[in-house]
Amino acid sequence: MDISDLERQLDGARTDAEALISGLSEECAAWRSTPGAWNVAECLDHLATANRVYLASMQEPALRARCLGKMRRGPAKPGLVGGWFVRSLEPPVKRMTRMKAPRNIVPRVNPPLHDAFIAFLATHDQVRAFVGTSADLDLNSIRFPNPFVRGIFFSLATGLNVIVAHERRHLWQAWRVRRAAEAAA
């Protein structure tokens, strides 16, 4: 996997999110299949928060690596464990790969759709910018602390792949909620 593939995946997620909210009413965006299930706006809000938290833990190691001259030597791809984790995030979500969101990235309850979408786009664009400014770094060897599990470190390559897989996962979830809400209307 190369930087251009990450950029293509990010472009795809943005296009998918734009299509997701196109013509979507606030009422439909706030619909939930069962009490406690996330609605469309909450899925977008969760992505915005998760992107912000994940990216924040990646930035300092990237800056340090740049100062140390850790420049790119090959394609940016996750390692064995990181690759497994990335694959576990991919949709369609199976019952055994469902995970409870860590407390610090649980979405706000019923955020306005427009606010959640703008927040998602802002953090999504920050990830896109990080990919661009870090493309010349050795993303495979630079490690950052997982912000959700103490003692776990991933490569920046893994982190970026986690972000794009996580976006696909929750956009897939949001589409399922939207379709169910439209069917129930």
Q: Which residues of 169-184 are buried (b: 16+ CB within 10 A; e: fewer)?
A: bbbbbbbbbbeebeee
Which phi and psi (to 5°) does residue 55 adopt? -65, -40
Q: CA-to-CA distance for 127 and 54, rounded, in angstroms?
A: 9
Mark residue 38 as left, alpha or beta (left: phi above 0; alpha: psi -120 to 50; beta: remaining): beta
pTM, entire model: 0.94
Token pair 């939930």 in the structure block, residue: 32
Task: Give the CATH number for residue 66.
Answer: 1.20.120.450
Whether the CB-CB separation of 86 and 162 falls below 8 Å is answered with: yes
In the chain, % of residues over pLDDT 70 = 98
Mark residue 155 as left, alpha or beta (left: phi above 0; alpha: psi -120 to 50; beta: remaining): beta
Side chain identity at residue 31, one-letter code: W
Q: Which one is predicted more confidently, 104 or 53?
A: 53
pLDDT at res. 101: 86
pLDDT at res. 144: 97
Averaged pLDDT, 149-170: 96
Tokens encoding 90: 């991919």
What's the domain count of the chain? 1
Whether the CB-CB separation of 112 and 26 falls below 8 Å is answered with: yes
Residues 6+ away with beta carbon under 8 Å from 146: 57, 152, 153, 154
- The parent domain of residue 151 ranges over 3-184
Confidence tier at 1 by pLDDT (50, 70, 90): low
Closest of 83, 67, 88 to residue 142, by C-alpha? 67
Q: Is it the case that residue 99 has pLDDT exceeding 70? A: yes
